[in-house]
Amino acid sequence: MSSFADQLDDEKLHELYLHWRQLCGDRRAPPYSAFDPVDQPRLLANLLVTDVIVEGETRRYRYRLCGTEVETNFGCAMGGKCVDELMTGPYCDYITNLYDRTVDHITPVFSQSSYGDFDRGLHTKRLMLPMSGDGETVDVVLSIQTFFRSSILSEPILIQQDSFEDSG
């Protein structure tokens, strides 16, 4: 069985994952303060930093930093806005589910899917990585998202790292 890292077939996603694992040390998730986006200039245009906002029983995800490549493909500025302010319907549910998996399981999540309406032929690969100031609660999700064109419609792919040991 291949490790989670071996399943990341995008160079940028793989690079960020290995950097994140290094920041983890013996923790399940490193603190966001250990990561400096400026140290990743090759990845910066594809990065997203998302704050986990908990208000009572409600959890929301607010974009703190959004790379230019992500915002260009999304079609508008995303910084300072929550997922549920920018998206609606099944797409909002899908993205929220990816964040929930990352936060609830304190684990990396990889997904691949079409992006926007399929007529554009745009697809995305995204890797979401938990960050935790206290080592127990995910307060930030660090993500990287790359884009590619294809005329082939395929089923979405979702891979969640099964365990901390499956880190490759």
Q: What is the pLDDT of residues 14-56, one digit of tens each?
A: 999 999 999 999 899 999 999 998 888 999 999 999 999 999 9
The answer to the question of residue 165 being in a domain is no
pLDDT at 164 over 60: no
Query: What pLDDT is stored for residue 64 in this prediction?
Result: 95
Average pLDDT over the chain, rounded to an integer: 87
Any domain includes 88: yes
Q: Is the pLDDT of residue 122 over 60?
A: yes
pLDDT value of position 156: 61
d(CA 134, CA 138) in angstroms, rounded, equals 8
Strand order of the sheet with strand 47-55?
A: 58-66, 47-55, 140-149, 122-131, 109-114, 157-160
**Mean pLDDT, rounded, for 120-147:** 91
CATH number of the domain residue 13 falls in:
3.30.450.20
Query: Is 0.95 surpassed by the pTM of this model?
Result: no
Structural domain total, the chain: 1
Residue range 89-114: mean pLDDT, rounded: 92
Which domain, by its residues, includes 88?
A: 5-160
Res 168: pLDDT: 46
Residue 166 lies in a domain: no
For residue 87, being part of any structural domain is answered with yes
